[in-house]
Amino acid sequence: MDISTLIIIAVLVVVVFYVISVYNRLVALRNRYQNGFAQIEVQLKRRYDLIPNLVETAKAYLAHERETLEAVIAARNGAVDGLKQASQNPGDAQSMNLLANAEGVLKNAMGRLNVTVEAYPDLKASQNMQQLSEELSSTENKVAFARQAYNDAVTAYNAYRQSFPPVVLAGAFGHGTDAALLEFADSAAIQDAPKVSF
């Protein structure tokens, strides 16, 4: 074998190993953002489970505020559906938008409930209501942290996928589109943990 053949073989081996490393990195980054979404899903499910308990606790005090309570439950159910759809395809722009919109509706309904509860001192002072509101506040913080971790992982995936030369290979490896960030309508306000006071 002459030297030129050895050089060609060496170059081909390097190219093959590089292509393999690009593929492996794309897979690792996609798995990282999918795991990030799974963490969001855990926290959102926890929050969705707390909301019916909160409504049940408030129901006895707010019997004539039925419309507000029903709006909270309907918004919660819509958010649960949005989460189910988004969890089937984390990173999909349409799924992330549906979840973000459902979360916005839920946030508005919870805000109306908070305003209503403020008018009932006995309900605000209830030990059960205080405990539920503390758990809800803690969960909101966890959602914000999980969302940030997910968005960081999506950004890393998209940056690598869009860089050269991975952008040339990404489509062939099943990574043809960017993953979508999970951004809520009130992105600026979400940086602070919501104030839940009963």
Span 20-58, pLDDT tens digits: 999 999 999 999 999 999 999 999 999 999 888 888 888
State the DSSP H helix or E strand holding residue 9, giving kind and residue range, or none if neither.
helix 3-59
Per-residue DSSP letter, 156? H
Q: HSE, CB side, 13 Å, CA atoms: give it for residue 38.
A: 6
At residue 74, the pLDDT reads 93
Average pLDDT, the chain: 86
Instruction: Give residue for tokens 């002459």.
Output: 2
The CA distances from residue 8 to 11, 12, 16, 32, in Å, are 5, 6, 12, 36
What's the predicted TM-score (pTM) here? 0.77
At residue 198, the pLDDT reads 45
The three-point CA angle 101-105-110 to 5° equals: 145
At residue 188, the pLDDT reads 46
pLDDT(197) > 80: no
Domain assignments of the chain as residue spans, ordered by start: 3-186
> What pLDDT, in 10s, does the model give residues 148-188?
999 999 999 999 999 998 998 998 898 988 989 988 765 44
CATH value of 3-186 in 3.40.50.300, 1.10.630.10, 3.40.50.720, 1.20.1440.20: 1.20.1440.20
Task: Output the furthest CA–CA distance in the chain (Å, rounded).
Answer: 91
Q: In this structure, what token pair is assigned to residue 59?
A: 């129901």
Least confident of 21-30, 75-84, 132-141: 132-141
Least confident of 7-11, 32-36, 189-193: 189-193
- Residues of the chain with pLDDT > 70: what percent? 91
